[in-house]
Structure 1
Amino acid sequence: MIPQEIIRRKRDGDELDPADIRSFIAALAAGQLSEGQIGAFAMAVWFKGMSREEIVALTLAMADSGDRLQWGDIDRPIADKHSTGGVGDNVSLMLAPIAAACGLAVPMISGRGLGHTGGTLDKLESIPGYRITPDADLFHKVVNQAGCAIIGQTGALAPADGRLYAVRDVTATVDSIPLITASILSKKLAAGLQTLVLDVKVGNGAFMADRAQAEILAQSLVEVANGAGVKTSALITDMNQPLADAAGNAVEMRNCLDFLAGGKADTRLEAVVLAFAAEMLVKSGIAVSSDEGEGMARRALSSGKAAEVFARMVSMLGGPADLMENPVRYLARAPVEKPVLAARSGWLAACDARGIGVSVIDLGGGRRHPADRIDHRVGFSELLPLGSRVSAGEPIALVHAADDAAAARAAAALAAHYRITEDSPELTPVISTRI
């Protein structure tokens, strides 16, 4: 294999043979390619694209670059969900235990915050003692006995993706749909999944602000995953406002516990969680229809079974056994809490969801650089949804900050992120398309 020949052919728009793609990715994983060669390959793909067959070959080669998890001794369907990221998107925290309570095994490998979006692992790290990187034996044990485990990616899973992404990040090739597709799916294939559902976000708080582009990405992910042997579907969901009524780490974890205790009924968040639970159950053959799947998910919530699964998972991964019963004891609160007041009377008609995510980072709840430490206490809670009628001076959110100055800045910033109008707005459905 001559790397520059593969790069040249892709640069010229040729379709690469799967064997050449495998050889290139094997060399990448083995450290045999220079950063210049990796960057040139990524840029060639960015400009010339890839066929479905090429993307499948790339995804499989990246999945095979490290370990593949095996679940042969677990007699339940192995299923997972992936989100392209958003603000206040803590769906995974509730979805995994709900799906497990309904009979699925969910080995969920999640990530940290990226840009303005929050990360599931950062939220879980607000739980004292929770191990986000257990060894393989403990991960397998928790999935087997609790039904689900939410952890971080290890270096042994799809290592080629890690090196390729690091180069993409500094060569302006992150936003290539073939490379995004292979990056997401290679890790999911390495996790040994049988079924997968995808949450592709669209809106001003999503990485894909354009609906047409979001649909192209969703179609690519679904076709490639199915082509690689994993039963997959996608829902396109709205990210023009925070999904939960909280944005941050410990505040979103408290939101999760409230949800599992039945406290978030009839919200946009509940609609998304139940829709994805139903989709997972149907794809795995446990439910025959979305209505049946949603009914199963609702019963898992109302009976307390999902909360029991979550508590067992947390305990087995090193967290407190009584987190559900005593969240105040374990989830640290910020020393300053300040209400954000509506500047005028009217309807909350629109917001800058991305700006809200950036404001969480400004409070210290996210990273500007990879080595930054996160303050898990800070963020926003009690965010009113768009379409709410407010009076001047009425709270529209609560800021959680490390000091008074930070709280004042964040409150002013959050108020500026919302638009209040005299007329009731027409809102976008939270779930728009199934692919």
Structure 2
Amino acid sequence: MSTIAAVDVIIAKRDGRALTDEQIDWVVAAYTAGEVAEEQMSALLMAILLNGMERREVVRWTAAMIASGIRLDLSGVGRPTVDKHSTGGVGDKISLPLAPLVAACGAAVPQLSGRGLGHTGGTLDKMEAIPGWDPLLSPEAMTRQLAEVGAVICAASADLAPADKRLYALRDVTATVESIPMISASIMSKKIAEGTSALVLDVKVGSGAFMKTREKAAELARSMVDLGAGSGVRTTALLTAMDSPLGRAAGNAVEVAESLEVLAGGGPADVVELTLALAREMVALAGLDVDPAQVLASGRAMDVWRAMVAGQGGDPDAPLPQPQVREIVRADRSGIIGRLDAMPVGIAAWRLGAGRARPGDPVQSAAGVLCLAKPGETVAAGAPLFELHTDDPSLVEGALADLAGAIEIAPPGAVVDPGPLVLDVVR
């Protein structure tokens, strides 16, 4: 019988004290087992958000989450293993072209992915727009596909860091998502438990990201890189801009379509740039001497994509879902797009049905927003700025309200510099 009580752990963190190793081990295990009430863990999460954690606490919390389940062994796949994780943004479909590209370069990419969280899209929600595609793979099936195809995008097994699954859902509904210790522990517990040897992190910074400032993003990146290194996982983090949406599509099927454009040798320049930047870091950590740009141009990444989708029951040739309702938003004057704010675009896509208000809610595969004009581009009065997609016409009015202040049109001839996409690298 434990002598530790949940209320004592809450009080300690509420009063700004560091939790002991014993307290952390107990509260993570007890919450996972259902012995700590939701309201008690909610109170502790808020105390952690407000008062933070020392590095030792984060290391121990991460280890406790890993210990709540199994740790996969990927040593038998016959290729160097390397994964990527993004902290989430708007239009962030990079995992879709990136996993098959890095696999085509010779690595094995065990891309364990998640659902949408707030205004940010979920990779699994996007992939499920592909008819027949199944996110649920056993560890054995995942390992087999890694060996045969080189890439897998799937849901984490229920027994892989199960503590994180419960905490992740609770953070989403208690306004504690932004806690850097909890983000670090959540991401790294899953990535370490999945058994990858190397990891590249895409830490978003800006209006459409959870981290609004470079300082906070750098703090999160350093925390995760240190956690990875301390657990024997070679880890690098890129800080990347998320003031504007990535590419032109934000949603589910629309992002799959844009990813296919990239794999076919086209696609928006920023999506291609970030895909290649992350791929170069991944192949370097995997010890491979290959140029991802050449591999992308060769078409081999598209071949891997098709095999990866088919390997999980999907039909790579099936048409993607189309919306029942399309609504165009037009420019009220001519000029240069000076700003396109990612956050209202993400909220509009969510409101149209691409995301969920509560864990477990269904999403619409066809819902989303197409950004038809990006910063630096010239538009004429009456030109389309956005195309809204949904299956429910009653959702359009709210999304239009979200987008009302999303875009600024500067006078003709104005000089607009969107700035760099990759802001910094943390090793």
**TM-score (norm. length: structure 2):** 0.91
Deviations 1:354-409 (A, max 9, x none): 11111112222222233432221122235322111111112233333336676677
Distance in 1 separating the partners of 2:46 and 2:407: 38
Q: Distance in 1 between matches of 2:42 and 2:403?
A: 38
Paired residue for 1:429?
420
Map 1:11-410 onto structure 2 (within 5 A): 11=14, 13-264=16-267, 267-287=269-289, 296-320=291-315, 323=316, 326=317, 329-381=318-370, 383-402=372-391, 410=399
Matched AA of 1:331: L
CA contact (8 A) 1:68 1:157 kept: yes
Q: Deviation of residue 45 (structure 1)?
A: 3.1
| Preserved contact between residue 203 and residue 240 of structure 2 (Cα < 8 Å) | yes
What amino acid does structure 2 have at the position aligned with 1:355?
P
Deviates more, 1:47-56 or 1:253-262: 47-56
The 10-residue stretch of structure 1 (47-56 or 99-108) with the greater mean CA deviation from structure 2: 47-56
The one-letter code sitting in structure 1 at the alignment partner of 2:194 is: A
Q: Is the 8 A contact 1:383 1:397 kept in 2?
A: yes
Distance 1:13 1:418, change over 3 A: closer
List alignment gaps of at least 5 residues for structure 2.
none
Secondary structure at the counterpart of residue 344 of structure 1: coil
> SS where residue 243 of structure 1 aligns?
coil
Q: Which moved more, 1:391-400 or 1:63-72?
A: 391-400
Native 8 Å contact 2:353 2:363 kept in 1: yes
Length-normalised TM-score, structure 1: 0.90
The alpha carbon displacement at 1:209 in A equals 1.4
Question: By how many angstroms is 1:106 displaced?
Answer: 0.8
In 1, Cα distance between equivalents of 2:397 and 2:41: 45
Task: Specify the SS of the correspondent of 1:429.
Answer: coil
- Provide closer, same or farther for how the CA distance between residues 393 and 156 of structure 1 changes in structure 2, counting only shifts above 3 A: same
2:4 corresponding residue in structure 1:
3
Structure 2 CA distance for aligned equivalents of residues 201 and 412 of structure 1: 25
Aligned CA-pair RMSD: 2.3
Amino acid at match of 1:208: M
Deviations 1:228-255 (A, max 9, x none): 2211111111111110211111111111
* 1:92-120: CA deviation from partner (whole Å, max 9, x where unpaired): 00110011111111111111111111111
Name the CA distance, whole Å, in 2 between partners of 1:415 and 1:41.
Answer: 37
CA 1:11–1:372 in structure 2 vs 1: closer, same or farther (change >3 Å)? Answer: closer
Residues 250 and 331 in structure 1, CA contact (< 8 A), matched pair in contact too: yes
Change (3 A) 1:388 1:152: same
User: Offset at 1:79?
Assistant: 1.1
Deviation string for 1:310-350 (max 9, x for gaps)? 10010010011xx2xx4xx4212123444432211111011
Q: 1:35 deviation in Å?
A: 3.5
Report what 1:290 is aligned to. Answer: none
Mapped to 1, the partners of 2:348 and 2:38 lie a distance apart of 34
Aligned letter for 1:112? R
Verify the 8 A CA contact 1:341 1:415 in the aligned structure 2: no
Maintained 8 Å contact 2:364/2:390 = no
Bigger shift: residues 389-398 or 121-130:
389-398
Structure 1 counterpart of 2:234, one-letter code? K
